[in-house]
Protein backbone atom coordinates (compact mmCIF):
# COMPACT_ATOMS: atom_id res chain seq x y z
CA UNK A 1 0.00 0.00 0.00
CA UNK A 2 1.32 3.44 -0.97
CA UNK A 3 -0.20 6.13 1.24
CA UNK A 4 -0.76 9.48 -0.47
CA UNK A 5 1.21 12.38 1.03
CA UNK A 6 1.01 16.16 0.69
CA UNK A 7 3.01 17.59 -2.22
CA UNK A 8 2.22 21.29 -1.88
CA UNK A 9 -0.28 23.59 -0.17
CA UNK A 10 -1.56 26.55 -2.17
CA UNK A 11 -3.69 29.40 -0.86
CA UNK A 12 -6.54 30.26 -3.22
CA UNK A 13 -6.33 33.78 -4.66
CA UNK A 14 -9.23 36.21 -4.63
CA UNK A 15 -10.27 37.39 -8.07
CA UNK A 16 -13.38 37.92 -10.19
CA UNK A 17 -14.81 36.57 -13.44
CA UNK A 18 -17.91 36.88 -15.58
CA UNK A 19 -19.54 40.25 -14.93
CA UNK A 20 -17.59 40.80 -11.74
CA UNK A 21 -18.52 37.74 -9.69
CA UNK A 22 -16.12 37.44 -6.76
CA UNK A 23 -14.39 34.09 -6.41
CA UNK A 24 -11.37 32.24 -5.06
CA UNK A 25 -9.22 30.53 -7.71
CA UNK A 26 -6.79 27.77 -6.81
CA UNK A 27 -6.08 25.96 -10.11
CA UNK A 28 -5.37 28.15 -13.12
CA UNK A 29 -3.02 30.37 -11.12
CA UNK A 30 0.70 31.05 -11.15
CA UNK A 31 1.22 28.52 -8.36
CA UNK A 32 -0.93 25.80 -9.96
CA UNK A 33 -1.41 26.46 -13.65
CA UNK A 34 -2.44 22.96 -14.76
CA UNK A 35 -2.78 19.74 -12.80
CA UNK A 36 -3.41 17.34 -15.66
CA UNK A 37 -6.30 16.88 -16.48
CA UNK A 38 -7.59 19.78 -14.32
CA UNK A 39 -7.34 23.27 -15.78
CA UNK A 40 -9.16 25.45 -13.25
CA UNK A 41 -10.94 25.33 -9.90
CA UNK A 42 -13.00 28.26 -8.61
CA UNK A 43 -14.91 28.66 -5.38
CA UNK A 44 -17.54 31.30 -6.11
CA UNK A 45 -19.93 32.97 -3.76
CA UNK A 46 -20.74 35.64 -1.24
CA UNK A 47 -23.44 36.73 1.17
CA UNK A 48 -23.43 40.15 -0.52
CA UNK A 49 -25.69 40.14 -3.60
CA UNK A 50 -23.59 42.89 -5.21
CA UNK A 51 -20.74 40.39 -5.47
CA UNK A 52 -22.68 37.95 -7.67
CA UNK A 53 -25.88 39.53 -9.02
CA UNK A 54 -24.37 40.26 -12.47
CA UNK A 55 -23.51 36.58 -12.92
CA UNK A 56 -21.80 35.07 -15.95
CA UNK A 57 -23.48 36.43 -19.09
CA UNK A 58 -23.37 34.60 -22.43
CA UNK A 59 -19.87 33.35 -23.29
CA UNK A 60 -18.28 30.51 -25.33
CA UNK A 61 -16.19 27.44 -24.49
CA UNK A 62 -14.37 24.87 -26.62
CA UNK A 63 -12.21 21.86 -25.78
CA UNK A 64 -13.00 21.54 -22.07
CA UNK A 65 -15.52 20.18 -19.61
CA UNK A 66 -17.02 22.42 -16.94
CA UNK A 67 -18.38 20.88 -13.76
CA UNK A 68 -20.45 23.23 -11.61
CA UNK A 69 -21.43 22.12 -8.11
CA UNK A 70 -23.88 24.31 -6.21
CA UNK A 71 -23.82 24.28 -2.39
CA UNK A 72 -25.99 27.32 -1.61
CA UNK A 73 -28.16 29.64 -3.69
CA UNK A 74 -29.60 29.19 -7.18
CA UNK A 75 -28.22 29.76 -10.68
CA UNK A 76 -30.05 29.70 -14.01
CA UNK A 77 -28.26 28.03 -16.91
CA UNK A 78 -29.05 28.12 -20.64
CA UNK A 79 -26.91 27.29 -23.66
CA UNK A 80 -26.72 26.89 -27.42
CA UNK A 81 -27.64 23.19 -27.27
CA UNK A 82 -31.09 24.18 -25.96
CA UNK A 83 -30.38 23.02 -22.41
CA UNK A 84 -31.74 25.21 -19.65
CA UNK A 85 -32.64 24.96 -16.00
CA UNK A 86 -32.16 26.30 -12.50
CA UNK A 87 -29.40 24.86 -10.34
CA UNK A 88 -30.36 24.39 -6.70
CA UNK A 89 -28.23 23.51 -3.65
CA UNK A 90 -26.64 20.08 -4.07
CA UNK A 91 -27.11 19.99 -7.85
CA UNK A 92 -24.36 19.40 -10.43
CA UNK A 93 -24.06 20.59 -14.02
CA UNK A 94 -21.54 18.62 -16.12
CA UNK A 95 -20.98 20.21 -19.52
CA UNK A 96 -18.73 18.65 -22.16
CA UNK A 97 -18.21 21.60 -24.48
CA UNK A 98 -16.42 19.71 -27.27
CA UNK A 99 -16.58 21.71 -30.51
CA UNK A 100 -18.29 24.61 -28.83
CA UNK A 101 -21.01 25.82 -26.51
CA UNK A 102 -22.24 29.34 -25.86
CA UNK A 103 -23.88 29.55 -22.46
CA UNK A 104 -24.81 31.83 -19.57
CA UNK A 105 -25.04 31.26 -15.82
CA UNK A 106 -27.05 33.89 -13.99
CA UNK A 107 -28.25 34.09 -10.36
CA UNK A 108 -31.86 32.97 -9.91
CA UNK A 109 -31.97 34.83 -6.60
CA UNK A 110 -32.02 38.49 -5.62
CA UNK A 111 -30.27 38.13 -2.25
CA UNK A 112 -28.96 35.57 0.22
CA UNK A 113 -25.83 33.44 0.26
CA UNK A 114 -24.31 31.99 -2.90
CA UNK A 115 -21.68 29.24 -2.72
CA UNK A 116 -20.46 26.79 -5.32
CA UNK A 117 -17.55 25.43 -7.32
CA UNK A 118 -16.61 25.25 -10.96
CA UNK A 119 -13.99 22.76 -12.12
CA UNK A 120 -12.53 22.73 -15.64
CA UNK A 121 -11.38 19.37 -16.99
CA UNK A 122 -9.29 19.13 -20.16
CA UNK A 123 -10.48 16.98 -23.07
CA UNK A 124 -8.10 14.84 -25.16
CA UNK A 125 -7.49 15.94 -28.74
CA UNK A 126 -9.70 13.16 -30.12
CA UNK A 127 -12.73 14.51 -28.23
CA UNK A 128 -12.20 18.27 -28.48
CA UNK A 129 -14.28 18.68 -31.64
CA UNK A 130 -17.09 16.30 -30.65
CA UNK A 131 -20.66 17.49 -30.45
CA UNK A 132 -21.28 19.08 -27.03
CA UNK A 133 -23.06 17.15 -24.28
CA UNK A 134 -24.87 18.52 -21.24
CA UNK A 135 -25.72 16.54 -18.10
CA UNK A 136 -27.68 17.75 -15.10
CA UNK A 137 -27.58 15.80 -11.86
CA UNK A 138 -30.00 16.74 -9.11
CA UNK A 139 -28.99 16.42 -5.47
CA UNK A 140 -30.93 13.16 -5.18
CA UNK A 141 -28.96 11.69 -8.12
CA UNK A 142 -25.63 11.88 -6.30
CA UNK A 143 -24.21 8.96 -4.40
CA UNK A 144 -24.44 9.44 -0.63
CA UNK A 145 -22.73 7.72 2.30
CA UNK A 146 -22.96 8.68 5.93
CA UNK A 147 -22.29 7.37 9.41
CA UNK A 148 -21.47 8.92 12.79
CA UNK A 149 -18.00 9.91 11.49
CA UNK A 150 -18.71 11.52 8.12
CA UNK A 151 -20.92 12.44 5.19
CA UNK A 152 -19.70 11.77 1.65
CA UNK A 153 -21.46 13.05 -1.47
CA UNK A 154 -20.24 11.26 -4.57
CA UNK A 155 -20.41 13.06 -7.92
CA UNK A 156 -17.96 10.76 -9.74
CA UNK A 157 -16.11 7.65 -8.71
CA UNK A 158 -17.00 5.06 -6.06
CA UNK A 159 -16.86 5.03 -2.27
CA UNK A 160 -17.96 2.05 -0.15
CA UNK A 161 -19.52 0.55 -3.33
CA UNK A 162 -21.67 3.67 -3.80
CA UNK A 163 -21.19 5.29 -7.23
CA UNK A 164 -21.65 8.83 -8.41
CA UNK A 165 -23.79 9.60 -11.48
CA UNK A 166 -20.89 10.47 -13.83
CA UNK A 167 -19.61 7.16 -15.22
CA UNK A 168 -17.45 5.78 -18.07
CA UNK A 169 -15.43 8.97 -18.36
CA UNK A 170 -12.11 9.04 -20.21
CA UNK A 171 -10.14 10.44 -17.22
CA UNK A 172 -11.87 8.14 -14.69
CA UNK A 173 -12.61 11.05 -12.33
CA UNK A 174 -13.17 10.96 -8.60
CA UNK A 175 -15.18 13.86 -7.16
CA UNK A 176 -16.22 13.63 -3.50
CA UNK A 177 -17.62 16.27 -1.14
CA UNK A 178 -16.80 15.23 2.42
CA UNK A 179 -17.79 16.47 5.88
CA UNK A 180 -15.58 14.78 8.46
CA UNK A 181 -16.13 15.07 12.21
CA UNK A 182 -13.33 16.00 14.62
CA UNK A 183 -10.88 13.19 15.29
CA UNK A 184 -12.39 10.94 12.62
CA UNK A 185 -10.69 9.40 9.59
CA UNK A 186 -11.61 9.24 5.90
CA UNK A 187 -9.91 6.57 3.83
CA UNK A 188 -10.31 5.62 0.16
CA UNK A 189 -8.51 3.90 -2.69
CA UNK A 190 -7.13 5.93 -5.61
CA UNK A 191 -5.73 4.65 -8.93
CA UNK A 192 -1.94 5.04 -8.56
CA UNK A 193 -1.55 6.95 -11.84
CA UNK A 194 -4.12 9.65 -10.99
CA UNK A 195 -3.27 13.22 -10.11
CA UNK A 196 -5.27 14.37 -7.11
CA UNK A 197 -5.91 17.22 -4.72
CA UNK A 198 -8.02 18.26 -1.76
CA UNK A 199 -9.76 21.63 -1.55
CA UNK A 200 -10.44 22.52 2.07
CA UNK A 201 -13.48 24.72 2.59
CA UNK A 202 -13.30 24.86 6.37
CA UNK A 203 -11.40 22.97 9.03
CA UNK A 204 -7.94 21.48 9.55
CA UNK A 205 -6.72 18.13 8.22
CA UNK A 206 -3.89 15.67 8.72
CA UNK A 207 -3.17 13.98 5.39
CA UNK A 208 -0.99 10.88 5.21
CA UNK A 209 1.87 10.87 7.68
CA UNK A 210 2.57 14.61 7.56
CA UNK A 211 2.32 16.15 11.04
CA UNK A 212 3.89 19.50 10.09
CA UNK A 213 1.87 20.98 7.24
CA UNK A 214 -0.87 23.27 8.54
CA UNK A 215 -4.00 23.18 6.42
CA UNK A 216 -6.55 25.97 6.63
CA UNK A 217 -9.69 27.31 4.94
CA UNK A 218 -9.67 27.86 1.15
CA UNK A 219 -6.44 25.91 0.69
CA UNK A 220 -5.69 23.71 -2.30
CA UNK A 221 -3.69 20.71 -1.13
CA UNK A 222 -1.85 19.05 -4.02
CA UNK A 223 -1.13 15.40 -3.36
CA UNK A 224 1.62 12.98 -4.34
CA UNK A 225 0.62 9.92 -6.34
CA UNK A 226 -0.27 6.79 -4.42
CA UNK A 227 -3.09 4.29 -4.04
CA UNK A 228 -4.54 5.07 -0.59
CA UNK A 229 -5.74 8.41 0.75
CA UNK A 230 -5.93 8.72 4.55
CA UNK A 231 -7.30 11.97 6.00
CA UNK A 232 -7.92 12.77 9.66
CA UNK A 233 -9.87 15.82 10.84
CA UNK A 234 -8.08 17.82 13.55
CA UNK A 235 -11.42 19.61 13.90
CA UNK A 236 -14.71 19.24 12.04
CA UNK A 237 -13.81 19.80 8.39
CA UNK A 238 -15.47 20.10 5.00
CA UNK A 239 -13.51 19.46 1.82
CA UNK A 240 -13.53 18.26 -1.78
CA UNK A 241 -11.39 15.35 -2.94
CA UNK A 242 -10.84 15.33 -6.70
CA UNK A 243 -8.66 13.02 -8.81
CA UNK A 244 -8.27 12.09 -12.47
CA UNK A 245 -6.10 10.25 -14.97
CA UNK A 246 -3.65 12.57 -16.76
CA UNK A 247 -4.20 13.07 -20.49
CA UNK A 248 -0.53 13.81 -21.21
CA UNK A 249 -0.99 16.12 -24.20
CA UNK A 250 0.28 19.62 -24.88
CA UNK A 251 -2.25 22.36 -24.25
CA UNK A 252 -2.81 25.82 -25.70
CA UNK A 253 -5.03 28.28 -23.85
CA UNK A 254 -7.03 31.15 -25.21
CA UNK A 255 -9.42 32.47 -22.57
CA UNK A 256 -12.45 30.12 -22.62
CA UNK A 257 -10.83 27.86 -25.23
CA UNK A 258 -8.31 25.10 -24.48
CA UNK A 259 -6.88 23.22 -27.43
CA UNK A 260 -3.58 21.53 -28.32
CA UNK A 261 -2.04 24.21 -30.57
CA UNK A 262 -2.12 27.97 -30.99
CA UNK A 263 -3.49 27.46 -34.50
CA UNK A 264 -6.51 25.64 -33.05
CA UNK A 265 -7.09 28.53 -30.63
CA UNK A 266 -7.03 30.97 -33.54
CA UNK A 267 -9.52 28.77 -35.38
CA UNK A 268 -11.85 28.77 -32.35
CA UNK A 269 -11.74 32.58 -32.23
CA UNK A 270 -12.43 32.79 -35.97
CA UNK A 271 -15.35 30.33 -35.72
CA UNK A 272 -16.85 32.34 -32.86
CA UNK A 273 -16.49 35.60 -34.72
CA UNK A 274 -17.97 34.32 -37.98
CA UNK A 275 -20.95 32.59 -36.35
CA UNK A 276 -20.05 28.96 -37.09
CA UNK A 277 -18.78 28.18 -33.57
CA UNK A 278 -21.89 26.53 -32.15
CA UNK A 279 -23.33 25.08 -35.37
CA UNK A 280 -23.78 21.35 -34.95
DSSP letters along 91-147, please? -EEEEE-TT-EEEEEEES-SSS-EEEEEEEEE--GGGTTSPPEEEEE-GGGSEEEE-
For the four alpha carbons of 219, 220, 223 and 227, in that order, the dihedral sign comes to positive
Which domains does the chain carry?
6-274 (2.60.120.10)
pLDDT per residue as tens digits for the range 188-227: 999 999 999 999 999 999 999 877 667 778 789 999 999 9
pTM as predicted: 0.94
* pLDDT band at residue 107 using 50, 70 and 90 as cut-offs: confident
For 271, the 3-state DSSP assignment is helix
Q: Contact 213/204 with Cβ under 8 angstroms?
A: no
Beta carbons of 141 and 91 less than 8 angstroms apart: no
| Rounded average pLDDT over 48-58 | 73
Q: Quote the CA–CA distance of 120 and 265 in Å, as a whole number.
A: 17
pLDDT band at 19 (very low <50, low <70, confident <90, very high): low
Bond preceding residue 37 cis, omega within 30 of 0: yes
153 class by beta-carbon count within 10 Å (0-12 exposed, 13-18 middle, 19+ buried): buried
Look at residue 265 in the predicted model and tell me its pLDDT: 97
Give the pLDDT mean for 168-178.
97
1 — pLDDT class (breaks 50, 70, 90): low
Amino acid sequence: MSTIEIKKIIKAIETSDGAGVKLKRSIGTQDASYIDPFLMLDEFGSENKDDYVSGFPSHPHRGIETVTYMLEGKFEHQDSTGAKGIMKPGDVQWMKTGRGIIHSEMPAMSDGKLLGFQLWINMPAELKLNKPEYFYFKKKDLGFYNNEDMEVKIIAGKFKNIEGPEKKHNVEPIYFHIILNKGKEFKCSVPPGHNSFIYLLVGDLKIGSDEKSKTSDSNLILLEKGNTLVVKANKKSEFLFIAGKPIGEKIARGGPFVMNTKEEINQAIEDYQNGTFAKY
